[in-house]
Structure 1
Amino acid sequence: MRAEPRVPAQALAAIRAPFVEAGAERVDPPILQPLSLLLDLAGEALRARLFVVQAEGGQEACLRPDFTVPVARLHLASGAAEGRYYYEGTAFRAAPESADRPEEFLQVGLEIYDSGKASPAATEAEVAALAWRAAAAGGRGDLSLWLGDVGLFAALIDSLKLAPSLAARMRRAAARPRLLAAELARAGAEPEGGPAGALAARLAGLSEKEAAALLEEIWALAGIERVGGRGPAEIAQRLVRKAEAAQAPALTPDQAEAVKRYLAIAAPLDQALEAVDDIGGEAPALSAALGGWAERVERLIRAGAPVDRLWFAAGLGHTFDYYDGLTFEVRSEALGAERPVAVGGRYDSLPARLGGADGTRAVGAMVRPWRAYAGGEA
């Protein structure tokens, strides 16, 4: 496993300072995290990037690929309605064979949970500005702050009047470029149908526990012995999604073109929002969702975001599909879009998906100090 070099102490102290000063509780969640949960949140494609471990006869786990889910689990376990958490520790992701990248690396970040009383725009501005300040403290002079909004994409999908199953698939694909490209590529195609639908329909009508039990029974009747890999609940869920993909209607060419036009928007903030508004003239739901951006931009600038380095990319999303509002990245011109210095955003849906109370709001950010440091990753 390739480990990232250490950041000099003085530089690291400067990078962490904005988060430390935010009045958050320091936490260090377990390195081992449940594999099935992370694959549910990011898709099976993430498995190749994870370091998977399994005790004999036990459930599969993985080394934490980041801190958002582990910190969310800690917050929910505490029973608190609200919380602010700062973390600093190592995360782990396997690099592609062709990429000479660290697989063990340091992350510093902040996660905020509130019960709905605070202004969403205020907490988003605070966290994005903290991420910017922490990234800029590393000394790089080529940084810019890129913004996106998963909520705008969802509004665009609503305006297209898609079949419910297709609309749900498109929303899930918002933060997964491969899935989104696949949906756009099959525009105009007829549903495939096929025999897989019968089993999927049967599983879809069951609870997760019942679906897993049914698969276990089928394996037993067929004499199949499971020795590792995905569990029955995970397999059942993926069978249903695969069958849904084959049977779901596709985008029409016109609908696909509208999505492509939207995703192509990437420009300085003012210009980009004007381009989104132009598309919104044909999509009322999109125009309505765009209305909240005036307050968001005002608060971002007031919180210290760089006025002359603000960009908007309509297709900006992260690996995990729980982001459902503002997303952002601090990018270095030298490192490019594939290696952001900092990432973050709003993920109100995650606490409920992990068993928390409805109405909990969540927003957070993470900085990679070795990328922020001027003498670091090149």
Structure 2
Amino acid sequence: MSPLVPIPPSLLDRFEAAGFARAEPSILQPAEPFLHVMGEGLRARMFLTSDGDGRDLCLRPDFTIPIALGHIAGGDPARAASYYYAGPIFRHRRGGGGESAQAGVESFGRADAIAAETEILALALEASALLSEPAPIIRLGDLALIAAAVEALDAAPAFRRRLKREITYGESLDALSAATPAQAARAGHAGLFAALDAAGPEAARAVIEDVLSLAGIAAVGGRTPAEIADRFIEQNAAGGAAGLSAGERRALTDVLAVDADARSAVERLRRLADGGLAIGPAVERLGSRIEAFAAAGLPVERMRFASRFGRKLDYYTGLVFELGRDGGDGPLAGGGRYDGLLGALGAAPAPGVGFSLWLDRFPGAAR
């Protein structure tokens, strides 16, 4: 545990009282799962080394992935199990220093999704209060809503996948319409891309995998040849897409523009669902979630929902949230639903939800 930021015993006691078991993953971790799941861009921020066999190792940059791997190793990944943690993580940061103290929880296998989300958000707010921030700003998003809006578009599947990812990562529709590296590549290699388009996605995937295999490329940034092929096909489809119709573009823009207090946002989205994209079921699920928060006594009046708000990791699938304060140097806490995490780590998909606290950002924490 970092000596810079003491953790109140009452915080850990509260996690245990809520039914979470202590998890203490090793500080030294294999690097590949982090690069595979969180992206090659993390490499520049990791503290890397290697073992005697040349395998990449790192100082733990995150708790969620090693706890998920431990859960998978412990038996049926779909089983219900909940964990808490506290300790340092290690990432290069601007201005120097690479060690930060975190605490948080992870919960896997619960089928009662909205009840689980309600309990997780309530616990995050309790933890914030125990750390001397009793009334943080609460920001909400819903990646399932974005997925529903994009899936309602009349566009190629690969283009829809790229669109969902880029929206989650903060790109504007104007930026997505601009020239991309994929479009430049198509201009320079028109014959190749035309052949891939004509072959269809399955045949194109097989060709790309064969080329990578012949070149002796087993993995890049933790991605297998099949995953590299899928991303290549996705970028090819995006580069060659004619774009959205004016009506679809306007409807998607309207959905992405919603940014209001939680209940007002739901009502706005309901009106959009009546006259635009087929997002009705996702909106009603969001509304049920907000009402469950209210029924549990959570401060819904202080919650702000923004359609564009997301957490920049592909494994998040539904509710996402952050706790913060005006003028802060980053979120105090963040989390949400990540039903895609266990699948990304090679196990059968199973529900997951949790949050992490950046302890050195709370009032009174030593810097």
> CA distance change for structure 1 residues 101 and 17 in 2, over 3 Å: closer, same or farther?
farther
Which residue of 69, 77, 99 corresponds with 1:104?
A: 99
User: Hey, what's the Cα distance between the residues in 1 that align with 2:307 and 2:213?
Assistant: 42
**Are the counterparts in 2 of residues 50 and 65 from structure 1 also a CA contact under 8 Å?**
yes
Contact 1:14/1:138 (CA < 8 Å) preserved in 2? Answer: no
Q: Where do 1:1-378 residues align within 5 Å?
A: 6-8=4-6, 12-55=8-51, 57-80=53-76, 81-95=79-93, 99-100=94-95, 102-114=97-109, 116=111, 119-140=112-133, 143-177=136-170, 182-186=175-179, 193=186, 194=189, 197=193, 204-205=205-206, 213-216=213-216, 230=220, 234=224, 237-238=227-228, 241-242=231-232, 244-248=234-238, 249=241, 251-252=243-244, 254=246, 255-335=248-328, 339-358=330-349, 360-372=350-362, 374-376=363-365
Q: Which amino acid aligns with 1:205?
A: A
SS at match of 1:323: coil
Distance of 1:180 and 1:13 partners within structure 2 = 47
Kept in 2, the 8 Å contact 1:33–1:61? The answer is yes
Amino acid in structure 2 at the alignment position of 1:376 = A
Summarize the Cα distance change of 1:366–1:161 in structure 2 as closer, same or farther, 3 Å threshold. Answer: same
Rounded to whole Å, the distance in 2 between the matches of 1:353 and 1:232 is 11
The answer to whether the 8 Å contact 1:211/1:236 transfers is no
For residue 270 of structure 2, give the secondary structure of its aligned residue in structure 1.
helix
Residue 131 of structure 1 deviates from its aligned partner by 0.7
- 1:36-82 alpha-carbon deviations (Å, 9 max, x no partner): 33233233323222222223542323333221111111101000422
Structure 1: which amino acid aligns with 2:206? G
SS at match of 1:285: coil
SS in 2 for 1:216: coil
Quote how far apart the aligned CAs of 1:247 are: 4.2
Shift of 1:85: 0.7
In the TM superposition, what whole-angstrom CA distance separates every residue of 1:106-151 from its partner, at most 9, and x where no partner exists?
11111111263xx210000000110111012211356121111100
After TM superposition, the structure 1 stretch with the greater mean CA deviation from structure 2, 58-67 or 241-250, is 241-250
CA, structure 1 residues 215+328, in 2 after alignment: closer, same or farther (shift >3 Å)? same
* TM-score of the pair, normalised by structure 2: 0.82
Aligned in 2, Cα 1:160/1:354: closer, same or farther, shift over 3 Å?
same
Q: Distance in 1 between matches of 2:67 and 2:366?
A: 26
| Aligned alpha-carbon RMSD (Å) | 3.4
Q: In 2 relative to 1, CA 235–35 (structure 1 residues): closer, same or farther, beyond 3 Å?
A: farther
Instruction: Supply the AA of the counterpart residue of 1:71.
Output: I
Aligned residue type for 1:134: A
SS at match of 2:160: helix
Equivalent position SS for 1:62: strand
TM-score (norm: length of structure 1): 0.80
- How many angstroms does 1:321 deviate by? 0.9
Worse-superposed segment, 195-204 or 120-129? 195-204
How much does 1:268 deviate?
1.3
Query: Does the 8 Å CA contact 2:110/2:116 hold for their aligned counterparts?
Result: no
How far off its partner does 1:256 sit? 4.4
Q: Structure 2, unaligned stretches of length 5 or more?
A: none
Which moves more between the two structures, 288-297 or 15-24? 15-24
Find the aligned partners of 1:151 and 1:231 in 2 and give their Cα distance. 27
Measure, in 1, the Cα distance between the counterparts of 2:275 and 2:32.
40
Q: Distance in 2 between matches of 1:34 and 1:271?
A: 45
Shift of 1:365: 1.1
The number of residue pairs the alignment matches comes to: 353
Secondary structure of the corresponding residue to residue 289 of structure 1: helix
Name the CA shift for 1:363/1:54 in 2 (closer, same or farther; >3 Å). Answer: same
CA contact (8 A) 1:160 1:283 kept: no
How far, CA to CA, are the matches of 2:179 and 2:249 in structure 1? 9
Separation in 2, partners of 1:334, 1:125: 27
In the alignment, structure 1 segments of 5+ residues that lack a partner are 220-228
Identity %: 33
> What is the rounded CA distance, in whole Å, between the counterparts of 2:36 and 2:66 in structure 1?
14
Give the 3-state SS of the residue equivalent to 2:279 in structure 1: helix
Q: Is the 8 A contact 2:156 2:237 kept in 1?
A: no
